[in-house]
Amino acid sequence: MKKQFLLAAMASTLLVSYPLGAKANETVRSLESKNVGVAENVKVEAPVSVNDFIQYALDELTYQHGSKEMRDQIVQQWTSAEQLELEKKITKGELAKILIHALNIQEQEKSISDYLQSAKINGLLKVYSQADETVTAEEMESIIKNAKAFASKDIDNKGVKEISVEDFMKNPGESDFEMSPDGEYISYMSEWENRMNVFIKKMHEDSEPIRVTSSTDRDIIASFWKDDHILYLKDNGGDENFHLYSSGFNGQEERDLTPYPGVQVRVISGLSGVKDEILIGMNKEDPTVFDVYRLNVKTGDLDHVAKNPGNIAAWLADHEGKIRIAIETDGVNSTVLYRETEEDDFKPFVQTEESDAITPIAFSKDNQSIYALSNKGRDKSELVVFDLDANEKVLYSNPQVDVAIGFYDKKKDAIIAGGYITDKLHYEFFDKDLERVFKQLEDKLQVTESELLLNDYNEDMTKFIVFVSSDKEFGTYYYYDSTTEELTKLTELASWLDRDAMSDMHPISYKSRDGLTIHGYLTLPKNKKPENLPLIVNPHGGPWARDSWVFNPEVQLLANRGYAVLQVNFRSSIGYGKAFTDAGDKQWGLKIQDDITDGVQWAIDQGIADPDRVGIYGASFGGYATLAGITYTPDLYAAAVDYVGVSNIFTLLDTIPPYWETMRNNLYNRIGHPVEDKELLEAVSPVFHADKIKTPLFVAQGANDPRVNQAESDQIVEALRKRGVDVEYMLKENEGHGFENEENKIEFYNAMIEFFDKHLK
């Protein structure tokens, strides 16, 4: 963790200031409750230990409550990596040094007397002190109060200039840059006729770009190169039946390669080195499962490669383009299947049990090994390699969180890096050349590893498309030639947004009522004291997903309007190990909702949130959590926005898309069975308890949503209107699971801001 982040974290102070000494006994009790070594007979005038002080300062100044990893990082930063004796009594000199480093008052090392003098000059210590004097609990509370006052001295509580909804929500500009296979051209997305389309241009010439797609009804969601063609995916009005299209260089050869109504295509392999052909999956023969086809991108010819017997959830091809791995599942338990050739039958390779997950990444070049992510037999997913006898070797693991991704490089025939997310994204490099380039880029761009992504690179790993982004930076693309060390800026997303007006997203953690550590993010409005603010809690979708430290336009929009925004990775969120995910099984509206409620209460207890001005807003599962929040804790929220959310779990399970059929049993396992768990699902479906809802509600829904059908929103709106409750309802006929068209997004967020301002301000 870099000092810039520590300063940002401390510059927006958390707690309401109290009269000097008024909380000293409470401080001791707080330390006792956190098990940081304060004896029961410690009085406010008794000395405290180094550990006591660091834990108290950590809780008060950095939003971290229960995160050991973050605590260790901060302790190392504050103490200049010194190995302090944590159980000994802290002295004024040590305390001054820690705070001077934490507040970033001075970078260079000084003598203890200099630290003491600096602490006095900056108002941290109000009276003269000897360096070896110990610190009492009462003094500690007073000194931290002084530190918080110092950190917030530049906040005038006037906020920042209001930025329009349109500036936050309109298409951000050129994005998704990718090099052609020969490195001579570059493709990217850009707006045309209010829709994101694909453009290409010569890499090293200042030539005019050529638009190669002409979509006017819907954004193109993804594109990639195949030889001299651009392939791209697009659905119809949000129905998620994505078709695969091709386009030539001049944009005059656009063609729907999968022109089958009601069919969804998935790309399985780009077949690098195989001219004009790729492998795709389609549910053309059976809407519930995906067969494998070899597709010629120039002629559109299809060759049926593998028939799905009805229980295959995923396929993996080797380096010759042969389907050699399949994942068989009953929705709960899975088996990785393997075959030597495409003429052979699949045979069991690795068996998993409930909650286990093995995700194959790639075959080795000789097709004798299989790289994968696996949590079989352990809590956290690790980066592993299997031989063909299913013997496993662990390549990398992280004790705190799941390894989220492994980067396989075909030319080097190796996993070159792994990625994992704690509070932010981090990398573990296994290739020295790539690590060297990454460090060069960090230095040239003056960013941390969490802000840097390698978007694309050539086979020799000498030319790179680089993306820089953060909580306050939408993103900037660069082209980097590592042989010449030449760095060229390609474009800046949403360049019209003032970066200095964006708000910091602070990693936070707190304890749930039953003792779990819950992680999340708190975004505080810029130039506003974090005291008694209107708060929007924003539960994520899934629920088997997670929030991360990224630029989030809707969060920044809310913060720009003066709202604090709380995002919670409640139990059932992914990334923290399977035990944490499993803790959310059959807990919709119950312990999952308690985690969200506990987060709101934490923000209230910290003095950040005004308890009379708390709103809740979420999409998909977050929409369900919104409805559950105003149903089961009706006094907690003053306004709510449900965006494509679930109101009736029975109808949700009855209307899942056909291609989710292989995971139906998993949904029953995770959410509840409509027959066996009938009473549970009735108890936690908000539509059956609409009589408890009194919070003002705004509902938004896409008519073509295949995941959360329009009926989910219709039901709750109808139930409330029957009681005479006025519900705002926005229905878009040309949208699905969330609004994608620019004009619809702008209309929705304008309405949401107006709704929250009406009820929370």
> Known catalytic residues?
620, 705, 737
Which tokens sit at 145? 């109060």
- Count the alpha carbons within 13 Å of 481 in the hemisphere toward its beta carbon: 7
What does the alpha-carbon distance between residue 163 and residue 316 come to, in Å, rounded to a whole number?
Answer: 46
Per the structure block, which two tokens stand in for 449?
Answer: 């590893």
- Residue 400, SS3 per DSSP: coil
Euclidean distance between CA atoms 582 and 490, whole angstroms: 43
Contacts of 113 (CB under 8 A, 6+ apart): 93, 131
| CA angle in degrees (0–180, nearest 5) for 594-597-603 | 140
Task: Report how far residue 113's alpha carbon sits from residue 100's, in angstroms, rounded to the nearest whole number.
Answer: 12
Cα–Cα dist 145/57, whole Å: 10
SS3 156: coil
Cis omega (within 30 of 0) on the bond before 543?
yes
Q: Give, in order, the Cα–Cα distances in Å from 673 to each of 210, 435, 659, 681.
A: 53, 48, 19, 8
In angstroms, the CA 242 to CA 234 distance is 5
Backbone angles phi, psi at 251, to 5 degrees: 75, 10
**Coil, strand, or helix at residue 563?**
coil
Quick one: tokens of 663? 């995971």
Beta-strand ranges (E) seen in 126-276 are 175-179, 185-192, 195-202, 210-211, 222-226, 229-234, 243-247, 255-256, 265-269
614: closest CA among 708, 692, 532, 507? Answer: 532
Q: Are 714 and 744 in contact (CB under 8 A)?
A: no
> Within 10 A of 699 (CB to CB), how many other CB atoms are there?
25
Cβ atoms of 279 and 294 within 8 Å: the answer is yes
- Taking Cα atoms as reference points, which of 269, 312, 259 lies closest to residue 293? 269
Please tell me the distance from the alpha carbon of residue 610 to that of residue 533, in angstroms, as a whole number.
5
Q: From residue 5, how far is each of 52, 104, 308, 506, 559 by CA, in Å?
A: 23, 10, 50, 9, 18
Q: Which residue from 128, 108, 69, 56 is spatially nearest to 100, judged by alpha carbons?
A: 108
